[in-house]
Homo-oligomer: A and B are copies of this chain.
Amino acid sequence: MRVEGPRYTERFGAVRINEVQKVLELDSGRARELTPYENVAVQKIEEGAIKDFEEKMVIVIPTKDEKLKLLEGVISGIPHECLILVVSNSQRKRIDRFKMEQDTLRQYCHFTRRQAYLVHQKDPVLAKALAGAGYNHIIDQDGLVRDGKAEGMIAAIFIAMMMKKDYIGFIDADNFSPGAVWEYVKCYAAGFYMSRSPYAMIRIIWRYKPKFGEGVYFRKWGRVSEVTNRCMNSLISIRTGFETDIVKTSNAGEHAMSLKLAGLLSYASRFAVEPQELISIFEDFGGVMPMACKTAAKHGIEIFQIETRNPHLHEDRGTEHLKDMLLPGLATIYHSRLCEKETKEKVLAELLQQNAINPGEEPPMPQISPPPKNIDIQKFTKVMGRHMESCSALEGK
């Protein structure tokens, strides 16, 4: 893979936010000696180096009643060295869609000889393991893990820690294009390779998101992203005193973290989870408040934003979905301890304009789950460890 080197980096306390880096070549060929000029502006990252990171990575696919063909397509794009973890919240009553996912995954893993795990979000053992380890924050009144993609992601972070992986990456199950999925993972690995800190986050920005109407319009910016990025950048600009538009990936569903970093962050519910990760980093390491972890602050937190070659093609959820996403995302910015008057006013103005709130209203306070770092992973493993065997999709070896 060949990707632009980080040409410009915005600093915010101990946080380094790298400008968007474009992928130039999906497949940069065999490892060979560099020629002059090579790796000046553009980095060639050898396949061997990428695989070194893939081996230490769990790819998490949160899914809920997604079309099986799309789910299988997504799986088929994930490089073989990564461990696959599907966290499903699909229905089990009437039609047992979870069972269908299990069958699909088992058949796939049988023929490709690869390991994958499928865990149901409402698995009582999972909830028991979380509670037993002292992390009740995503447990509902019925004693099971709450609904929501974010809750599934948090559970996956614990499972990845239990499996002693170093990196965790997320990919949505509704992607049409296995080739794009493959590229996301390569970008994750490339980002971790480029990072000078073990506390790193890679966020994907797609080149285009084609809209099919009369003809094709290659849209670059989603409406929600545009607004959320603007408010996020306002928050940084006012704190640093230099206006910036560095953040282009506030809502990046496709993103990855080192587990070291994942353990330090706090997580919002549902569609607020991705912007909240940034807010959490800025609050804890932006230098405005006390540093949340001295070791991490010393290394610095490094954020990469990588622009893929592939367009993003996925299920169109319509405009309802867009409104659902805008409000919780902006709420995390609004209620951040870093958010001052000017950014608050910007957020309110945007929400009013989109009819997401009424005049005089404030966005609702986001529901935040605290950092996983304090959990007793031994206790979690004790309950969940052996149970994972039953979640394995590859029978025998």
Distance, CA A151 to CA B158, complexed state (A): 59
State whether A24 touches B179 (Cβ < 8 A).
no
Within 8 A of B (CB), among A47-89: 47, 51, 54, 69, 73, 76-81
Within 8 A of B (CB), among A377-397: 397
State whether A182 touches B28 (Cβ < 8 A).
no
State whether A76 touches B177 (Cβ < 8 A).
no
A349 within 8 A of B: no
State whether A2 touches B112 (Cβ < 8 A).
yes
State whether A77 touches B35 (Cβ < 8 A).
no
- Given A47-B47, A73-B309, verify A26-B179 contact (CB < 8 Å): yes
A361 within 8 A of B: no
Minimum CB–CB distance from A173 to chain B (whole Å) comes to: 15
Chain B residues lying within 8 Å of A179, measured Cβ to Cβ, are 26, 177-180, 182-183, 309-310
Distance, CA A83 to CA B310, complexed state (A): 21
- Given A37-B113, A76-B309, verify A176-B28 contact (CB < 8 Å): no
Distance, CA A28 to CA B114, complexed state (A): 9
Distance, CA A269 to CA B351, complexed state (A): 58
State whether A111 touches B24 (Cβ < 8 A).
yes
State whether A35 touches B397 (Cβ < 8 A).
yes
Distance, CA A182 to CA B23, complexed state (A): 14
* CB nearest to A30 among chain B residues: B51
A313 within 8 A of B: yes
State whether B180 touches A81 (Cβ < 8 A).
no
A370 within 8 A of B: no
A29 within 8 A of B: yes
State whether B76 touches A24 (Cβ < 8 A).
yes
- Given A25-B114, A26-B182, verify A176-B311 contact (CB < 8 Å): yes
State whether A42 touches B73 (Cβ < 8 A).
no
A142 within 8 A of B: no
Contact of A42 among B44, B111, B313 (CB under 8 A): B111
State whether B51 touches A112 (Cβ < 8 A).
no
A226 within 8 A of B: no
- Given A41-B111, A179-B178, verify A25-B310 contact (CB < 8 Å): no
Distance, CA A78 to CA B29, complexed state (A): 10
A242 within 8 A of B: no
Distance, CA A178 to CA B26, complexed state (A): 8
A to B CB contacts below 8 Å, 9 in the list: A25-B76, A26-B76, A26-B182, A27-B77, A27-B79, A29-B51, A73-B309, A176-B311, A177-B310
**3 nearest interchain CB pairs?**
A179-B179, A29-B80, A212-B212
Given contacts A77-B309, A176-B311, 13 further A-B contacts (CB under 8 A): A24-B108, A25-B114, A26-B182, A29-B114, A35-B397, A37-B113, A47-B47, A73-B207, A76-B309, A176-B216, A177-B177, A177-B179, A178-B310
